[in-house]
């Protein structure tokens, strides 16, 4: 892809989330991009008037939508709120992008699939979300497809980073206070370093691409939550100091797909991307994570 010469103005919504914070961390590494970071207090994507006011004040070339309702368990209890943010919020962003000729980069999820498949899901596979969170994200995707031509929907999975609340940080924290951990083996997906996703997004924005559409981006390989926990403990040097047990039945309120590995071939082919294996990416960043 050839780099455009002009500076791009980019709005990042949901900037207090872990992906938003990863984008802030690497911002200075990317020239020719001016990023405006807005958390939910500064800019509520469910408020059309606030969005319009923001666009009237600034010329925005891209929106990177990191704003989302991501509490899978709580979404079962308050689906209206999940749909307001993940579906109606996405619709509002799509409409404002269409009006101002901006490009939308929207983050979606592996939970749009039901997990019945036993090989990596492609972008063309049939969606069938099992929980309210997945349903709300799928409706958001469909709004964007209906309204916009210039969009990227990036489905990802099992995001972790040094920021926010995530499985990686939970395992590290518990390894300091508990002698035994029991982790589920019945779900298979791909742990994805949010820093890798952030780098991919900014390279997508920075370069002159018009290959719009839905893409899957996660790290390479696959794992159960038990596999992920074991690798976290191994690379952090704590595997020998804690008892790690398996279970195939960990009760949750929300139903989750048993298999949600995403196929990255379209992304690799379209953007000549260099996507790391999840174990290599975890090992590369473990020192950064442990310092926080």
Place of tokens 């952030």: 198
Bridge partner list, 62: 10, 103
69, 111, 121, 133: the catalytic one is: 133
In angstroms, the CA 178 to CA 173 distance is 9
Bridge partner list, 63: 11, 104
In angstroms, the CA 13 to CA 55 distance is 13
Bridge partner list, 229: none
Do the Cβ atoms of 278 and 221 come closer than 8 Å?
A: yes
Do the Cβ atoms of 104 and 96 come closer than 8 Å?
A: no
Place of tokens 């082919």: 269
In angstroms, the CA 131 to CA 104 distance is 25
Which has the closest alpha carbon to 243: 184, 186, 185, 182? 182
Burial of 188 per CB tally in 10 Å (0-12, 13-18, 19+): middle
**Known catalytic membership, residue 133:** yes
> Which amino acids are annotated catalytic?
133
């Amino acid at each position: 892809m050839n780099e455009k010469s002009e500076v791009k103005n980019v709005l990042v919504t949901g900037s207090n989330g872990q992906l938003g914070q990863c984008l802030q961390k690497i911002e200075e590494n990317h020239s020719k991009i001016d990023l405006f970071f807005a958390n939910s207090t500064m800019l509520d994507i469910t408020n059309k008037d606030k969005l319009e006011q923001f666009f009237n004040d600034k010329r925005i070339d891209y929106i990177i939508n990191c704003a989302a309702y991501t509490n899978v368990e709580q979404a079962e209890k308050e689906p209206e709120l999940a749909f307001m943010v993940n579906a109606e919020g996405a619709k509002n962003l799509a409409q404002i992008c269409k009006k101002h000729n901006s490009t939308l980069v929207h983050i979606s999820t592996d939970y749009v699939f039901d997990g019945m498949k036993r090989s990596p899901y492609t972008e063309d596979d049939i969606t069938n979300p099992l929980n309210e969170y997945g349903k709300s994200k799928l409706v958001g995707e469909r709004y964007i497809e209906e309204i916009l031509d210039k969009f990227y929907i990036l489905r990802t999975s099992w995001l972790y980073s040094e920021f926010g609340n995530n499985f990686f940080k939970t395992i590290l924290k518990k390894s300091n206070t508990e002698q035994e951990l029991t982790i589920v083996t019945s779900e298979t997906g791909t742990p994805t370093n949010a820093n890798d996703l952030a780098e991919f997004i900014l390279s997508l924005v920075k370069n002159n691409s018009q290959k719009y559409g839905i893409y899957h981006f996660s790290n390479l390989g696959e794992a159960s939550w038990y596999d992920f926990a074991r690798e976290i403990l191994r690379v952090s040097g704590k595997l020998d100091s804690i008892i790690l047990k398996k279970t195939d039945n960990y009760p949750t309120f929300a139903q989750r797909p048993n298999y949600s590995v995403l196929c990255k071939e379209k992304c690799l082919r379209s953007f000549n991307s260099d996507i790391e294996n999840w174990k290599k990416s975890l090992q590369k960043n473990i020192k950064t994570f442990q310092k926080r």
